[in-house]
């Protein structure tokens, strides 16, 4: 299969603007329809210079000249192509987020996102990340719900040395943010479980090696999220990725992938849809490139809020998307294929003790709503060497997994992890709570999240010690939904609310009943249902107590 590629500076042989096909929206900046003139300042920035070009300037100019030497277009635009965002300036309350100019919100420090495609690292790689956190990042390290590690307090002067260390062990921050193919999710236990449909390690690696950092895909209309997984627990949440390959077995007993496209949350959330095709493992790279090319060429570039692939899919529908993919981007049609089987369990986080194929065990554990430190990560790396097989993985639920622990060492490893407040057998509340970066560091945030998540699950553990059912509580600092408030049993979306005295305070809009799976649904927003941040524990306690008192036999809280 041949996939045509193009960039704004080196377009593929020019296609004349074609007459609109029936139903095709016009004038949204679709390159394939001839709309090449940038329609907003982000598109102009990308046309002026590709995001990938900023690396040279960081290494050769900005790291020497310091923060004040950084070109504003690079600072708020292209630096993201290498995982760098300015942090929120300290002391700015959430209520001011929307009314300040970007430069007023910028701190002189950066967040740095390290991509861990597939989620798996070695103890050596983890030690390097941990060392960067302790040495350059004030000992903060967040495990994100997209299998990245996010560092904070990074100075521009230190970035070349940080890259040298990361790249020395095969890690990268390239295209960790920006309008690019971001980290590609994979099952943290790929290749290790008897239950998996197939091991997606190889195709995932092939896509990363071939296409990440490729200028053919470094100017997409918006961010582009991928997942390639054969996990029977559906742990990468294929439903909310722009493109997802989901392990299936076809009618001939052949193992391959079901292709989903167009998922995404934020405002206008939308679940991905199946194209109904069967993709062989050796076709994953070309098909991924074909879908990504459709997004690049036909994706909408006029409005940033209308640019994700989900909007194109909403207009085209899966049938047309498949037709364009097969006729314009692939040289052979794909056969029809089956949908994925129902996931083998509700929880997708790989927390707990899981037998591995080789007779050893994987121990999944819950940090405090994804918040860790370099010091703790160093201890985890040491533990992985001493009691595991030297491998660690991040999940898409802000959890970590130690691989290859011998049966005789399982209890000792659980105990040692607990001394670092890393729990293999956490309460339902701790296990089920996730939080985004929030007001502490994020410039878009309206409310603080990480500390509130910590307070919330600890309070609930005290107040409802008998509650053991799986549930998800996702706490987000703003409507962007980085921690997926729409897909949680109890989703919190940060906003300013009025307290009992009429004062504007940090709080949350509540969404209830979201879940993944065959009957996936977004949580319902109840009009007027808002809680102050301080009132969050009381609110969750109240609805859980109500459920415990009124539930039917065999009824479960989670959708």
List residues near ligand SF4 by CB under 6 A: 436-438, 442, 444-445, 476-478, 480-482
Residues 229 and 245: their CA atoms lie apart, in Å, by 6
Give 117 or 506: the residue with its C-beta nearer to ligand SF4: 506
Closest to ligand SF4 by CB, 307 or 414: 307
Hey, is 520 helix, strand or coil? Answer: coil
* Lookup result for tokens 């994804």: 370
8 Å CB contact between 79 and 58: yes
Residue 251 φ/ψ region, left for φ over 0, alpha for ψ in the -120 to 50 degree band, beta for the rest: alpha
Least Cβ distance, residue 500 to ligand SF4 (angstroms) = 25
Taking the least distance from each CB to ligand SF4, the nearer of 79 and 291 is 79
* Cβ 73 vs Cβ 53: under 8 Å: no
Q: Which is nearer to ligand SF4, 362 or 478 (CB)?
A: 478
Minimum distance from residue 306 beta carbon to ligand SF4 (Å): 18
Q: Distance between CA atoms of 522 and 322, rounded to whole angstroms?
A: 25
Of 180 and 474, nearer to ligand SF4 (C-beta) is: 474
Shortest distance, CB of residue 79 to ligand SF4, whole angstroms? 16
- The residue among 146 and 350 lying less far from ligand SF4, judged by its C-beta, is 146
Give, as one character, the DSSP assignment of residue 458.
H
278 close to 258: Cβ distance less than 8 angstroms: yes
Q: What is the DSSP letter of 370?
A: T
Q: How far is the CB of 478 from ligand SF4 (least distance, A)?
A: 3
- Alpha carbons 19 and 104: distance in angstroms, whole number: 45
d(CA 315, CA 23): 8
Which residues make beta-bridge pairs with 78? none
Residue 323 tokens, joined: 């037709």
Residue nearest to ligand SF4 (CB): 477
Q: Which residue lies nearer to ligand SF4 by CB, 201 or 476?
A: 476
261-299 b/e (C-beta count within 10 Å ≥ 16 → b): bbbbbbeebbbbbbbbbbbbbebbbbbbbbbbbbbbbbb
Q: Which is nearer to ligand SF4, 285 or 367 (CB)?
A: 367
224-229 and 181-185 beta bridge pairing: parallel
In whole angstroms, how close is the CB of 527 to ligand SF4 at the nearest point? 22
Distance (Å, rounded) from C-alpha 103 to C-alpha 472?
36
| Closest by CA position to 437, among listed 452, 422, 423, 426 | 452
Q: How far is CA 184 from the centre of its chain?
A: 9
Shortest distance, CB of residue 436 to ligand SF4, whole angstroms? Answer: 3
Nearest CB to ligand SF4, comparing residues 122 and 180: 180
Q: In angstroms, what is the minimal distance from the CB of 435 to ligand SF4? A: 8
* H/E element, 255: strand 255-261
Q: How far is the CB of 354 from ligand SF4 (least distance, A)?
A: 29
Give least dist CB 264 to ligand SF4, A: 13
291 or 482: whose CB is closer to ligand SF4?
A: 482
CB of 93 to ligand SF4, least distance (A): 14
CA distance 55 to 544: 50
């Amino acid at each position: 299969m041949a996939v045509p590629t193009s960039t704004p500076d080196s377009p593929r042989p020019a296609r004349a603007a074609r007459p609109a096909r029936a139903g095709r929206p016009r004038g949204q900046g679709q390159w394939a329809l001839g709309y090449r003139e940038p329609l907003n300042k982000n598109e102009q920035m990308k046309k002026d210079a590709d995001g990938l070009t900023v690396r040279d300037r960081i290494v050769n100019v900005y790291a020497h000249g310091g923060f004040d030497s950084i070109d504003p277009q690079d600072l708020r635009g292209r630096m993201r192509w290498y995982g760098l965002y300015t942090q929120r300036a300290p002391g700015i309350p959430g209520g001011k987020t929307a009314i300040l100019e970007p430069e007023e919100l910028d701190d002189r420090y950066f967040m740095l996102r390290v991509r861990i495609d597939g989620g798996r690292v070695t103890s050596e790689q983890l030690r390097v990340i941990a060392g960067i956190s302790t040495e350059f990042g004030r000992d903060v390290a967040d495990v994100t719900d997209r299998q990245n590690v996010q560092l904070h307090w990074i100075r521009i002067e230190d970035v070349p040395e940080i890259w040298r260390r990361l790249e020395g062990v095969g890690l990268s921050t390239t295209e960790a943010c920006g309008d690019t193919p971001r980290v590609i999710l994979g099952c943290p236990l790929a290749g290790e479980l008897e239950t998996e449909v197939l091991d997606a390690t190889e195709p995932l690696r092939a896509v990363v090696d071939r296409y990440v950092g490729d200028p053919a895909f470094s100017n997409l209309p918006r961010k582009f999220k991928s997942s390639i997984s054969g996990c029977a627990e559906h742990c990468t949440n294929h439903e909310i990725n722009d493109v997802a390959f989901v392990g299936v077995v076809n009618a001939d007993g052949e193992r391959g992938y079901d292709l989903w496209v167009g998922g995404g949350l934020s405002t206008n959330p939308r679940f991905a849809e199946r194209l109904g095709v069967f993709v062989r493992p050796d076709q994953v790279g070309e098909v991924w490139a074909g879908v990504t090319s459709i997004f690049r060429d036909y994706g909408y570039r006029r409005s940033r809020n209308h640019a994700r692939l989900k909007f194109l899919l909403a207009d085209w529908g899966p049938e047309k998307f498949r037709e364009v993919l097969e006729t314009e981007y692939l040289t052979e049609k794909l056969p029809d294929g089956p949908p994925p089987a129902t996931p083998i369990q509700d929880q997708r986080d790989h927390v707990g003790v899981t037998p591995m194929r080789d007779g050893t065990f994987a121990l999944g554990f819950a940090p405090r709503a994804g918040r860790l430190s370099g010091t703790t990560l160093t201890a985890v790396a040491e533990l992985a060497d001493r009691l595991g097989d030297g491998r660690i993985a991040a999940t898409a639920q802000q959890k970590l997994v130690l691989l290859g622990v011998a049966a005789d060492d399982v209890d000792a490893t659980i105990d040692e992890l607990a001394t670092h407040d890393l729990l293999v057998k956490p309460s339902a509340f701790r296990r089920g709570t996730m939080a985004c970066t929030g007001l502490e560091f994020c410039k878009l945030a309206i409310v603080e999240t990480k500390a509130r998540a910590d307070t919330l699950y600890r309070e609930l553990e005290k107040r409802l010690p008998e509650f053991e059912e799986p549930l998800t509580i996702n706490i987000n600092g703003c409507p962007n939904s980085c921690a997926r408030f729409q897909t949680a049993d109890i989703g919190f979306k940060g906003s300013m609310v009025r307290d009992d005295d009429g004062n504007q305070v940090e709080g949350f809009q509540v969404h209830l009943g979201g879940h993944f799976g065959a009957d996936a649904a977004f949580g319902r927003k109840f009009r007027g249902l808002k809680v102050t941040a301080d009132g969050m524990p009381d609110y969750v306690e109240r609805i859980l107590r109500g459920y415990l008192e009124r539930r039917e036999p065999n009824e479960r809280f989670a959708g």
